[in-house]
Every structure is written in structure tokens, then in C-alpha cells.
């Protein structure tokens, strides 16, 4: 079976049972370095033992369904973004299970016996050091080890991944992005934080002041957007990455109210309205602020573009 592109299954219907599956499961939000460590071990073991590697994930994210707090839960990666990263990991199969309120009430023992063993099939399972599953996340490493001999599988727990002395987690990455710390997020993710969207028509203000921008509309309402400000970014258009400067904010100089993501590309002129794009964040430059005049705004944007050119042509990416 080719290792270049995994087969993706949405739900158990049509998923082929095999007792020779080497698998892991989880939300894998962001697919950070800790997650990648687990996936790498699964893929390596499957190849060494002539088995098939399987990653099981959930849609929507379990927190979107069972969250109890007043604050909305935001995603590091939508399902298409997650799958895009997983395509390059060498996995054989990705199984996306629909996560519902009823599914969340499933006892962990029933999940292991009826779904993992009975419906998917597994020879070995890897889970993260802090992973819980089943009703109230009550299932974990102890239950898996207890059921393994009876059900014919083994289990391995993968320890925490650290960057410096910091344990990498999706929660910590979300916090970094909320504060605009995209370089810290890159260190923990292993790649620049990415936002996917569609180029939509704006009011043409950027073009009028000499800096045309692409307005990025993000379709998923729970996608986490970095803290407002100006960033060095790259925009994927088709198969090519283009360097630019991005402003996230409400355009206070023009008394804007609505949050916008606007990208000025450094060397690109084509019409891209309506096109799907992918924006990755490399470095935060400054806060968004209100300027006393449009002329002063233009002077600042000119400086931002000059600094971006230095960044990209110097010791940047």
C-alpha cells in the first residue's frame, strides 16, 4: 500500500476491519510536535511489522460538543487543515468518527471492545501521556493495559514532548496564538500557524492608498485567529507561496468595526478574488493602532513593507 497519501474514511461504514492495524486516536488539534512523535512511532511500527497504520480522530472536536464553560472553544486546525498535515506523515488510513453527545456517553470499555477491537481491529495502540477517552474521559492507559491480554492487543504510552523546558500541548499553543506569539507557536507546532480561507471582496481602501490587499474570509466559525496586529506572512495561492504583510484588526484609522484579515503581497498583482488560500504566520511585527491621518498610516505601512523585505531577504525564512 502506498505511503504517500492515506485513505480517508468518514465514519465506520466502509472501513475495512483488520487485526493487523497499528493505531492511535485523539483530537490531534494542531498536530503539534507531541502528536507527530506519536504518529511517527505508529507509522514506523506498522511498516516494520507489515501492518497498516491508522489514525482515528473526531469531528467535530470533542470540546465543541461537551464544553461546559461560558467561553467558546477555538480550533488550531479545522478538519481539512488537519488532514492536509496528516497527508505527509506516512499514515495508511485516517478514520474520522463523528462526535456527538450520545457518542460522548459511550463507556470507555465499550468503545475499546466494540469499536477499536470489534470494528476497526488493532494489534497495538499508542496514546499520549495525558490521553483520556470515553464517557468523562474516564478511559486511559490503565484500562487499555487491563483489556489488552483479553482482546489481543498491546499498548504503548508516549511521553510528553518538550521544547526547551516547556511541555508541548494544544492548550499552550492556543494561548500563544491568542497573544500573537506566533513564533512560539511555530516552535511547538513544528510549522508556522496556518489559517485557511477564501479571498473576498473588500472596500478597496488598500488599493486606493497604494497597498492593495487580499481580504481573507475564514469559513469555520471556531477557527482560532491570532491576536490583532501586523504580521509577516506567506499566502498559498494554488501551489505557490507568496510573501506578504498581514493586518488583523478593525482598521481603526477608518473607524472600522468588523474584524478583518487583510494581506498585502510584496510581489504579486493578479486577481485572486474567490480563490481558496492558506495563510501562514511567521512573525508579529506590531500592534494595530489608529493613526491621526491617512498619510501617517501610509508612512507606517511603507515602513512595515520595508521591514518585511528585510525580514524575507535577510535572516528570516
At residue 1, the pLDDT reads 43
At residue 205, the pLDDT reads 67
Report the CATH number that the domain containing residue 242 is assigned in CATH: 2.40.30.30
At residue 292, the pLDDT reads 82
pLDDT in tens, 257-276: 578 999 999 988 888 999 99
Low-confidence ranges of the chain (pLDDT < 50): 1-2, 315-317
- Do 97 and 139 have their domain in common? yes
- Do 48 and 105 have their domain in common? yes
Q: Which residues contact 150 (CB under 8 A, 6 or more apart)?
A: none
Q: How many domains does the chain have?
A: 2
pLDDT in tens, 208-261: 676 888 999 999 999 999 999 999 999 999 999 999 999 999 765 555 657 899
Domain housing 252: 192-313
At residue 313, the pLDDT reads 83
Report the CATH number that the domain containing residue 93 is assigned in CATH: 3.40.50.620
Residue 224: inside a domain, yes or no? Answer: yes
At residue 202, the pLDDT reads 76
- Do 16 and 145 have their domain in common? yes
- Do 154 and 204 have their domain in common? no
Amino acid at each position: 500500500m502506498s505511503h504517500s497519501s492515506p485513505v480517508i474514511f468518514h465514519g465506520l461504514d466502509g472501513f475495512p476491519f483488520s487485526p493487523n492495524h497499528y493505531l492511535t486516536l485523539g483530537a490531534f488539534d494542531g498536530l503539534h510536535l507531541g502528536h507527530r512523535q506519536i504518529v511517527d512511532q505508529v507509522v514506523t511500527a506498522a511498516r516494520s511489522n507489515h501492518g497498516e497504520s491508522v489514525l482515528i480522530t473526531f469531528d467535530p472536536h470533542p470540546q465543541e460538543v461537551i464544553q461546559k464553560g461560558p467561553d467558546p472553544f477555538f480550533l488550531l486546525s479545522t478538519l481539512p487543515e488537519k488532514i492536509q498535515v496528516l497527508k505527509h506523515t506516512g499514515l495508511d488510513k485516517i478514520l474520522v468518527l463523528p462526535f456527538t453527545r450520545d457518542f460522548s456517553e459511550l463507556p470507555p470499555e465499550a468503545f475499546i471492545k466494540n469499536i477499536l477491537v470489534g470494528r476497526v481491529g488493532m494489534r497495538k495502540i499508542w496514546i499520549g501521556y495525558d490521553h483520556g477517552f470515553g464517557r468523562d474521559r474516564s478511559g486511559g492507559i490503565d484500562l487499555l493495559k487491563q483489556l489488552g491480554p483479553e482482546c489481543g492487543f498491546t499498548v504503548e504510552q508516549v511521553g510528553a514532548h518538550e521544547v526547551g523546558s516547556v511541555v508541548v500541548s494544544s492548550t499552550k499553543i492556543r494561548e500563544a496564538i491568542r497573544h500573537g506569539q506566533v513564533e512560539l507557536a511555530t516552535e511547538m507546532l513544528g510549522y508556522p500557524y496556518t489559517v485557511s480561507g477564501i479571498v473576498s471582496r473588500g472596500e478597496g481602501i488598500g488599493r486606493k492608498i497604494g497597498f492593495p490587499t487580499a481580504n481573507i474570509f475564514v469559513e469555520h466559525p471556531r477557527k482560532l485567529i491570532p491576536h490583532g496586529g501586523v504580521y509577516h506572512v506567506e499566502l498559498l495561492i494554488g501551489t505557490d507561496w507568496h510573501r506578504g504583510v498581514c493586518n488583523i484588526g478593525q482598521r481603526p484609522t477608518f473607524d472600522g468595526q468588523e474584524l478583518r484579515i487583510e494581506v498585502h503581497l510584496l510581489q504579486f498583482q493578479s486577481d485572486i478574488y474567490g480563490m481558496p488560500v492558506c495563510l501562514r504566520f511567521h512573525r508579529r511585527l506590531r500592534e494595530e493602532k489608529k493613526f491621526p491621518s491617512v498619510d501617517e498610516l501610509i508612512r507606517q505601512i511603507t515602513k512595515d513593507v520595508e521591514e518585511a523585505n528585510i525580514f524575507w531577504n535577510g535572516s528570516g525564512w
